[in-house]
């Protein structure tokens, strides 16, 4: 594979990698920037098979540099769209020695699209709090002191109170723009930087 560096052309040597015969190897593709869905892109064809039985493996000659991200899927399966993984796909990093090591999908998405990393982290924190970006009604049997149109800490992150009744509240996750306008970092609400930012907001009110 040809590349350019320091004003000269160099050749990336082929790397020999092995994968069990019940899997297929592909280049990595970011199918959804918002959700960070990394899936299979271009297929990489095995040059030969080795071994037998459970030890049978496919041998690949990969024309990508060490450190490149690849995707393995069960043989016969492909998931190019932004759909559920079902735990059956894996992102792998190609080593210079042909090793294939697992990379978490979130980290792989951030590597493929660093500019979208902050927005994806914000989305993950909102979803982890049990909310989404539209109002969710939550019953409060013992009453509450939430006020409509305010922001609040909610289950480890932040939320916007859209509406209230004496026994119910409607919450949604804030947009990234709202977080930045408020001066809140994209971090769990109990993190030191989030605690400091919230205290500074309260002091300025």
pLDDT tens per residue across span 110-158: 999 999 999 999 999 999 999 999 999 999 988 899 999 999 999 999 9
Average pLDDT on 3-13 reads 54
Does pLDDT of 10 surpass 60? Answer: no
CA pair distance 116, 174, nearest whole angstrom:
17
Q: Please, which pLDDT band fits residue 3 given cuts at 50, 70 and 90? A: very low
Q: What is the pTM (predicted TM-score) of this model?
A: 0.83
Which DSSP symbol is given to 194? H
Per-residue pLDDT at 70: 97
The answer to whether 78 touches 71, Cβ cutoff 8 Å, is no
Which tokens belong to 32?
């959804």
Q: Can you give the pLDDT at residue 83?
A: 52
- Beta-carbon contacts of residue 199 (< 8 Å; ≥ 6 apart): none
Question: Can you tell me the mean pLDDT for 193-198?
Answer: 95
CA angle 181, 129, 108 (to 5 degrees): 80
* For the chain, percent of residues with pLDDT exceeding 90: 76
| Per-residue pLDDT, 202 | 85
């Amino acid at each position: 594979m040809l590349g350019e560096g320091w004003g000269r052309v160099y050749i990336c040597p082929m790397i020999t990698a092995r994968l069990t015969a019940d899997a297929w190897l592909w280049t990595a593709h970011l199918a959804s920037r918002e959700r960070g869905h990394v899936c299979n892109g271009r297929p990489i064809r095995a040059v030969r098979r080795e071994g037998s039985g459970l030890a049978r493996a496919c041998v690949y000659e990969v024309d990508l540099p060490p450190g490149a991200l690849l995707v393995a899927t069960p043989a016969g399966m492909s998931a190019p769209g932004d759909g559920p993984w079902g735990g059956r796909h894996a992102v792998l990093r190609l080593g210079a020695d042909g090793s294939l090591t697992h990379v978490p999908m979130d980290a792989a998405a951030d590597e493929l699209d660093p500019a979208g990393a902050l927005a994806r982290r914000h989305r993950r924190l909102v979803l982890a709090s049990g909310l989404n970006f539209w109002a969710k009604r939550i019953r409060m049997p013992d009453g509450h002191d939430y006020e409509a149109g305010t922001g609040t800490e909610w289950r480890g992150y932040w939320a916007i109170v859209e509406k209230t009744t004496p026994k119910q509240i409607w919450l949604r996750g804030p947009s990234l723009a709202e977080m930045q306008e408020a001066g809140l970092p994209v971090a769990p609400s109990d993190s030191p930087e989030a605690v400091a930012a919230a205290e500074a907001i309260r002091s300025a009110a």
